[in-house]
């Protein structure tokens, strides 16, 4: 799990900065005690510290929670506060409610909320969010590595290690999809490319949204319309370069003839839509099929209208190449991001086949 830079953590500890609480813990070598950044009870030798992302990491390294800051003296169940924090760490990717957590502690939700905040500096919800954001960045980073080498040379072999092949193109069940991304954290970045403005968004599983547009605001509106209940977090370049790398890879593909980057995808839709989208991934660059041919190939020969609809509902432009599906008469058919872009993509791909 990733930690803030050493310098940042040491500054936070020196200034006892409460805004860093929940982001990391530090152990004092030789004492066996670990604290939160804002702890005021110690004389600290900045050269004799060990840093931990989670309470679990700190306790596994043999440290005990500091009585002054983490074992909140106002809270009779302070040991169970530590247990609850560890429970949050272990279940950070699940939907946790204050009432279920307070049930575990045997106190009222409001009491837990206050005590937890006093001990850890953040509410249980913020603590969970902080862990999830770190997990997300960690996963992205593990997968992207050196983007050009990993993507273009090896077909991005590390993805399957991190995600497992099946979850790489994992689709949510229709039921959870209807929930509009409830309980999900989605990071997004908006950048200029050869094909205009692009907004890319990703969950911890992969890219869930890639769209072209004229204005950032309308792209953002489109994203929040697709995932009305998700928590959308703008990813500033300096904090999460991964999305930028991924957008760069797409842009290199569009502008410089680099292969289509094999990024992890989080396809969210109905079972039928996911079936169509997965099939689209198998259409080779330079090839095109009609909606009817796609319907045939997925074993639903009469469903060509539904295939067309599934293509129209594709949220992940270019990476799921719905532009390679045309009308039966060979005419262009629709494209969510404009028929000019569709034609340009097809021309580029044909050109590349000739080169």
Give catalytic residue positions: 35, 322
- The label of the residue with tokens 């999900």 reads 184
Backbone angles phi, psi at 324, to 5 degrees: -85, 10
Q: Which of 13, 28, 39, 267 binds Zn ion (CB under 5 A)?
A: 39
Nearest residue (CB) to Zn ion, 119 versus 319: 119
Nearest distance in Å: CB 9, Zn ion = 15
Nearest distance in Å: CB 118, Zn ion = 13
Nearest distance in Å: CB 190, Zn ion = 41
Nearest distance in Å: CB 65, Zn ion = 8
Window of 58-66, 107-115, 257-265, 340-348 that interacts with Zn ion by CB under 5 A:
58-66
Q: Which residues from 185-204 bind Zn ion, rule CB under 5 A?
A: none
Backbone angles phi, psi at 34, to 5 degrees: -120, 155
Nearest residue (CB) to Zn ion, 120 versus 195: 120
> Which residues, in sequence order, are CB contacts of 75 under 8 Å at separation 6+?
81, 115, 118, 119
Number of residues that bind Zn ion (CB under 5 A): 5
Nearest residue (CB) to Zn ion, 65 versus 206: 65
How is residue 323 annotated by DSSP?
G
H/E element holding 241? helix 241-256
Nearest distance in Å: CB 188, Zn ion = 37
Cα–Cα nearest to 178, from 233, 229, 231: 229
144 touches 158 (CB < 8 A):
no
Q: Which residues from 67-86 bind Zn ion, rule CB under 5 A?
A: 68-69
Nearest residue (CB) to Zn ion, 46 versus 182: 46
> Which residues, in sequence order, are CB contacts of 59 under 8 Å at separation 6+?
34, 65, 86
Nearest distance in Å: CB 12, Zn ion = 13
Nearest residue (CB) to Zn ion, 71 versus 281: 71
Q: 26's torsion region: left (phi>0), alpha (psi -120 to 50) or beta?
A: beta
Q: Which residues from 19-38 bind Zn ion, rule CB under 5 A?
A: 35
Q: Which residues from 98-137 bind Zn ion, rule CB under 5 A?
A: none
Window of 11-19, 64-72, 157-165, 342-350 that interacts with Zn ion by CB under 5 A:
64-72
66 scored as a contact of Zn ion (CB under 5 A): yes
Question: Based on the number of CB atoms within 10 Å of its own CB, is 145 exposed (0-12), middle (13-18) or buried (19 or more)?
Answer: middle
* Secondary structure class of 196 (helix, strand, coil): strand
Nearest residue (CB) to Zn ion, 66 versus 81: 66
Question: Based on the number of CB atoms within 10 Å of its own CB, is 142 exposed (0-12), middle (13-18) or buried (19 or more)?
Answer: middle
Residues that bind Zn ion (CB under 5 A): 35, 39, 66, 68-69
């Amino acid at each position: 799990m990733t930690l803030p830079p050493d310098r940042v953590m040491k500054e936070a500890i020196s200034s006892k900065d409460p805004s860093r609480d929940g982001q990391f813990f530090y152990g004092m070598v030789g004492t066996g005690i670990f604290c939160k950044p804002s702890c005021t009870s110690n004389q600290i030798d900045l050269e004799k510290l060990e840093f931990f992302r989670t309470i679990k990491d700190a306790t596994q390294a043999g440290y005990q929670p500091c009585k002054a800051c983490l074992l909140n003296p106002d809270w009779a169940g302070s040991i169970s506060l530590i247990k609850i924090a560890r429970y949050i760490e272990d279940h950070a990717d699940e939907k946790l409610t204050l009432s279920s957590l307070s049930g575990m502690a045997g106190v009222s939700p409001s009491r837990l909320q206050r005590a937890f905040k006093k001990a850890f500096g953040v509410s249980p919800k913020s603590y969970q969010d902080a862990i999830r954001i770190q997990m997300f960045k960690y996963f992205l980073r593990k997968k992207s590595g050196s983007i050009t080498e990993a993507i273009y040379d090896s077909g991005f072999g590390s993805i399957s290690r991190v995600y497992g092949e099946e979850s790489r193109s994992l689709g949510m069940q229709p039921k959870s999809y209807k929930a509009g991304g409830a309980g999900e954290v989605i990071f997004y970045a908006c950048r200029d490319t050869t094909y205009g403005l692009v907004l890319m968004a990703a969950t911890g599983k992969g890219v869930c949204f890639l769209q072209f547009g004229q204005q950032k605001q309308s792209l953002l509106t489109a994203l929040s319309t697709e995932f009305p209940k998700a928590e959308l977090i703008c990813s500033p370049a300096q904090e999460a370069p991964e999305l930028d790398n991924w957008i760069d890879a797409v842009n290199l593909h569009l502008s410089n003839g680099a292969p289509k980057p094999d990024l992890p995808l989080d396809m969210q839709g109905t079972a039928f839509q996911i079936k169509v989208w997965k099939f689209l991934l198998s259409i080779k660059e330079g090839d095109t099929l009609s909606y009817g041919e796609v319907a045939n190939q997925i074993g639903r020969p009469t469903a060509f209208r539904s295939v067309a609809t599934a293509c129209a509902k594709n949220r992940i432009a270019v990476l799921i190449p719905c532009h390679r599906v045309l009308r039966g008469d060979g005419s262009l058919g629709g494209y969510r991001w404009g028929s000019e872009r569709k034609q340009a993509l097809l021309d580029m791909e044909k050109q590349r086949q000739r080169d």
